[in-house]
Homo-oligomer: A and B are copies of this chain.
Amino acid sequence: MSSRLKDVAARAGVSVRTVSNVVSGAAPVAVETRRRVQEAIDELGYHPNLAARSLRAGRTGIIGLAIPELHSPYFSELAGLLVDEARRRSWTVLIDQTHGDAEAERRLLTPGGGRVVDGLIISPWALDPAELAAAQPSAPLVLLGERHPNGAADRVAVDNVTAADEATSHLIGLGRRRIAAIGTQPHLRNGTAQLRTEGYLRALDRAGLLHDQDFQRSVRALHRADGARAMDELLDGPASPDAVFAFSDELALGALHTAHQRGLRVPEDIAIVGFDDIEDGRYSNPPLTTVSPDKQQIAERSLQCLADRIYSPANTTPPQEITVPHRLVARSTT
C-alpha cells in the first residue's frame, strides 16, 4: 500500500506526507493542494485503508446522508451524485431514510446521533426551524434546502422563491390566466413548499392576477398519486384551471396522468410545469417543462462544505448559505 501512496504523491507532485495528510486529515492542507491530491487519487483509483485511516485520525471515512426517501427520483438522483462525489473524496456514504418523520430527523441531530460518521448531510422535512437551530450533532453538518435558520449549519439550496416565480411567469407569458399550484404543504414546516407558494403568488401579483384559494392544492406527500389526486380535485372544482404549476416533477407527472385519463389535451387544454428535472419527465408523453436545479452543484458544494469542516476542526467560519443555480427547461407540456 505504501507504494501506491507514493504513486499518488508522484502524480500530484507533492510529498508522501502531504498525501497522507489529505487522506488522514492529520494536518491541514491548502485547498488547491488537496484538490490536486484528490485528482491524483481519482486517476489512480487509490483507496486508502479505511481502518488504518480511522486509527490515525479518529475518523471513519464515512459520511451520513439523511433524506426523506430513496425511491423518490429527485432524492435518488441527488443521492447518486453525492455517492459518486463522496467516492472521489475517498468517503463512503451511509444512507438514512427519514420518511419525513420528525423523530428520525431529531435522532440524527442529537449528540451521538451521527454515531460513526465524520460528517452528515441532511435534507430535513419535518423539523421546524427552531429545532434545527438547536441541533447539536456530533459531526459537521450540511443542511439541504432553504429557510433553515441562519447559523444552524452550512446549507445548500436553490432560490425557491425566484424559481417558482419564473415557472409561474412562464405560464403567464404563454397567455394562461387560471393558474393552479399543486404542492402547498401548510402542515409541514420545512419551508420549501412555503417558498414556492410565495414565488407563485408573487408572479400572479405582478401580472395582476387574483389569488384563488381553490387553485392552491395542498398535498400530504410529493408522489405521483398525490399529484393525480390534486388534479382530480382541481378539475372537479368550481373554476377549471388552464395551467398548473406543480411543486415537484412527481406531482406534475401525476397531474399529467389525470389529465390524460380525463381526455384533456396537454398543453392545449391545460399546461403543466414541474420542479426537479427528474429523468422521468424528459421521457414523459409529452415531455415535461420543469425547473432544473443544478443537482451536480448541490452534491459538490455540500461535500466541499463538509470537507472544509472535517479537515479543519478548528475552522470557525460562520455557517455558509450557498445558493446553487437553477434554470427553467421548457419542453412540451407548456
Contacts and interface: CB of A to CB of B under 8 A. Distances in A.
Interface of A: 45, 47, 49-51, 60, 62, 69-71, 73, 76-77, 79-81, 83-84, 87, 92-97, 103, 107, 112, 115-116, 223-224, 228, 253-254, 256-257, 260, 279-280, 282-287
A97 B91 CA distance: 12
User: Copy number in this complex?
Assistant: 2
A284 B115 CA distance: 41
Which of A62, A70, A77, A223 has the most C-beta atoms of chain B within 10 angstroms of its own C-beta? Answer: A70
Contacts of A73: 71, 73, 76, 280
Given A51-B115, A62-B116, A283-B254, A80 B71 contact: yes
- Nearest 4 pairs between A and B by C-beta? A76-B76, A70-B80, A71-B80, A257-B283
Contacts of A70: 70, 76-77, 79-80, 83
Contacts of A87: 96-97
Interface centre among A71, A79, A93, A256 (most CB of B within 10 A): A71
A94 B97 contact: no
A83 B107 contact: no
Contacts of A77: 70-71
Contacts of A93: 94-95
